Chain A
Amino acid sequence: MSLSNMKLKVTVWRQAGPNAQGAFKDYDLDNISPEMSFLEMLDTLNEQLNDRGEEPIAFDHDCREGICGSCGVMIDGVPHGPERGTATCQLHMRKFQSGAHIKIEPFRASSFPINKDLSVDRSAFDRIIESGGYISAPTGTAPDANLIPIPKGVADVSMDAAQCIGCGACVAACPNGAAQLFTSAKIQHLNLMPQGQAERWDRTINMVDTMENFFGSCTNHGECEAACPKEISIDFIALMNRDFVKAQLKQRRLAGQVFP
């Protein structure tokens, strides 16, 4: 039944550990079905490597439905590969020609150190969230959910931002390794909501500061939006920048009041 009729050459980044020297290695595959997902192609390669006594390639993945944000590699230099709005796990081999030569690398960014092969450490994103990416509403404090109506349009835009899966493709795509798209999506998801107003200005300052500690700076290339598997708009970066300026002004005014 199987349509295993594609032949491929893949060039894969192999690196034994966080501090080891890495290198590219070539592999030939001749039993790839167009129905396979990209990760199933890697599974198939790993089975072959295991059979011949070579350690399988480490790569992150979990849901394989484009929602957990675990997967993500550079495919021919593009985060998540050639299909727009698609995470690596949802990319299928039918998007490639038989005979293709595909180069596979980990997401490259100084703030994402390599764990092994194609797996990177993206915990800097967790640091950004813990610095302010929440609404402080300890369990039990909430009023009835319908007490605060939210216009549908606002809820929808907030949801557009909240869809971010935290995969890091935006950082990998950016020539500067900046994390503006990720950070702005999270800030704006919360800043747009009525519930998010109380902490709006502190959240913006704290998250932007933390982001700048870890990541490069944004020079408006827009590569991030093109790479985002959820097609999150760079308009959120503009909104974040606006909020950041306002927040700084407010901070200054407050400082003025405290230290006249």
Chain B
Amino acid sequence: MTLESNIPEGAIADKWDNHKFNVKLVNPANKRKFTIIVVGTGLAGASAAASLAELGYDVKIVSFHDSPRRAHSIAAQGGINAAKNYKNDGDSVHRLFYDTVKGGDFRAREANVHRLAQVSVNIIDQCAAQGVPFAREYGGMLDNRSFGGAQVSRTFYARGQTGQQLLLGAYQAMMRVVGLGMAELYNRTEVLEVVVKDGVACGVVCRNLVSGEVFSLAGHAVVMATGGYGNAFYLSTNAMQSNVTAAWRAHKQGAYFANPCYTQIHPTCIPASDDFQSKLTLMSESLRNDGRIWVPKEANDTRPAAQIPEEDRDYYLERRYPAFGNLVPRDIASRAAKREVDNGRGVGPQKNGVFLDFGAAIDRLGEDVIRDRYDNLFEMYDRITDENPYKMPMRIYPAVHYTMGGLWVDYNLMSNLPGLYVLGEANFSDHGANRLGASALMQGLADGYFVLPYTIGDYLAPMLGKPVVTAADPAFKAAETKVGDLTKKMLSIKGKRSVDDIHRELGKVLWDNCGMGRTEATLTKAISEIPAIREEFWTNVKVLGSNESMNQSLERAGRVADFLEFGELMCRDALHRKESCGGHFREEYQTEDGEALRDDENFAYVGAWEWEGVGNDPTLHKEQLTFENVHLATRSYK
């Protein structure tokens, strides 16, 4: 099967407008005849569900959370980008487009990125109209800050809770249509299978997480907005329940998984304190605007920070990247920290961090200014570590944070399975090999508010009056049986090890071998080790309780089972990509001074994998990427 990206004709700046004019429309009176199932209520899913229902489609919304407002998007802190140029500092749609393509290390589709930059301006308007309490200047206008190394101030924010406020805006818009009877909501319901008949996605099989009941929802299209797969690593900054299950089960039904090896490691997280650690906490990137990163010059220097004089400190980012200093992109900052810790210059009780020091900023600006900017983050740090960042530097270390890879989609956000759309972090589309800060929220809302509502009509319009597959179809019954059998199997193993214990083992293999730095040797090792862990799971996992009541171990077991298959694909993708780009750093491919070395001649493509069964080599499909507007160049932040 060839991958048709369906990028519209025309100059880059005209493609989206041309496309909106050319897509087929569904007459307003006919929209209610189409049922669309939206899985996930993060920014992408909630915004899509609200917008589609407002248009008049019959929408069914599924989320495993107890309330849609709890989706992982709620945790985003820093902000959301938009090319508003409110600061008059030279921003434009073209600049945001350019920065995103370059920041993604030339592994994203230009046309998608340009569209994202175009609609970014509408997102801010939409959210402001919904009452999102963005930060304001004294004159009442919206405030912006510079974020994640951008040279312009284009990031909108709501204190340190931007994701929360944007999600509440989308959630409220969605609850409005639910209240008006225009959409139906299924909380605490997990999608465990995507139903495909004659090659077309026509519904999902769900499990009610309180009663255990398995049931099907049939529709004309399925929209999957189920988030990223960072928790494959066990420890990450993602919410505990974030997982790959919905995407993975769609993959096993034929949807291609693109670029799974592109994972983003965020440079500023609180280092792990011990084995019981259940997740890692992000400290917003905005801290790097005022904090200086350093380690002691000498390895094994155990003096407290305050007793290490200036001349014994190495501000290694400022030294190596004088132009960008502490504001280099995430992948570069993360690898630099790893290098210091690997060289024995790590700090803290486990020597697994580097300092992020606000001393100079406090001297320069005063404690009040710093308090005004970061107090909620400082407080959170203090609460977790029992250390006061006003008095001593924070300790930070990189952690898995975001996944650029995801299900393959075309320009319309439809996967290679007709009828299956994928939005937000769950798709692979806009960030290439590295995402810029404050761009995930932008993408999720772009997909849901402003892209899908246009593109989905093009698919639905020709289906008017045609027969639909209902939940009584044997395809649904077979899928329900499969889900039920899987549950029974997991409950019947009655082995010795807990789900978390096995997940932790997988996570360690992935982190050690497919983490910040990867080599052919480490990846080959991981690919040989993961099947054994999978085997261990299917013979020795211990899941107590029953299917007929709430059973959180059972929920996690299903998700870990999928991570055990997915992790292998991630390593295979990383192994096949013999270059370094963005978040994918193959140690064999680096410049003399340790920067990522891309191979555009051989790898300027999207790697989309087709499932061939457990333990079998997946098949690679390539979508060649062309760069006509942003010319291929080596990123330089020196």
Give A contacts to B, CB under 8 Å.
1-2, 16-18, 33, 35-37, 39-40, 43-44, 47, 50-51, 53-56, 58, 60-70, 83, 86, 90, 92, 94, 115-116, 119, 121-123, 125-126, 129-131, 133-146, 148-152, 155-156, 158-159, 162-163, 165-166, 189-190, 193, 195-196
Contact = CB atoms under 8 A, between A and B. Distances in A.
A146 B142 contact: yes
Contact of A33 (B127, B131, B171, B274): B274
Given A129-B172, A152-B137, 13 more contacts: A47-B500, A62-B241, A68-B75, A90-B380, A92-B384, A121-B66, A136-B176, A137-B130, A144-B125, A145-B127, A149-B141, A159-B165, A189-B133
Contact of A133 (B51, B86, B175): B175
Instruction: Say which size band chain B's interface belongs to.
Output: 35 or more
Interface string B241-281: 10000000000000000000000000000000111111101
A101 to B, nearest CB: 21
A145 B124 contact: yes
A56 B69 CA distance: 26
A139 B450 contact: yes
B57 interface: no
A134 B75 contact: no
A94 B281 CA distance: 18
Contact of A166 (B69, B133, B178, B275): B69
B277 A134 contact: no
Interface string B412-450: 000000000000000000000000000000000000011
8 contacts: A17-B550, A43-B278, A58-B551, A90-B380, A133-B175, A134-B173, A149-B141, A155-B134
Contacts of B133: 155, 158-159, 162, 189, 193
Question: What are the nearest 6 A-B pairs in CB distance?
Answer: A149-B140, A130-B179, A142-B129, A134-B172, A145-B128, A137-B129
Contacts of B74: 63, 67-69
A162 B133 CA distance: 8
B349 interface: yes
A69 B240 contact: no
A181 B166 CA distance: 21
A70 B66 contact: yes
B51 A139 contact: yes
B454 to A, nearest CB: 10
A39 B500 contact: no
Contacts of B545: 55-56
A61 to B, nearest CB: 6
B75 A56 contact: no
Among B70, B171, B241, B545, the one with the most A-chain Cβ atoms within 10 Å of its Cβ is B70
Nearest to B274: A2
Interface in B72-118: 72, 74-75, 84, 86
A2 B275 contact: yes
A198 B274 CA distance: 53
Interface stretch (B156-164, B322-330, B584-592): B156-164
Interface string B577-595: 0000000000000000000
A122 B128 contact: no
B318 interface: no
Contacts of A165: 164
A166 B74 CA distance: 12
B84 A129 contact: no
A106 to B, nearest CB: 12
B54 A138 contact: yes
A187 B164 CA distance: 17
Contacts of B158: 159, 162
A146 B240 contact: no
A70 B71 CA distance: 10
A35 B273 contact: yes
Contacts of B551: 58
A92 B270 CA distance: 15
Nearest to A50: B498
Contact of A39 (B54, B278, B384, B542): B278
Contacts of A163: 159, 161, 164
Contacts of B66: 60, 70, 119, 121-123
A12 B158 CA distance: 38
A83 B51 CA distance: 41
A191 to B, nearest CB: 10
Interface in B168-211: 168, 171-173, 175-176, 178-179, 185, 187, 210
B176 A134 contact: yes
Contact of A137 (B67, B136, B173): B173
B475 interface: no
B9 to A, nearest CB: 25
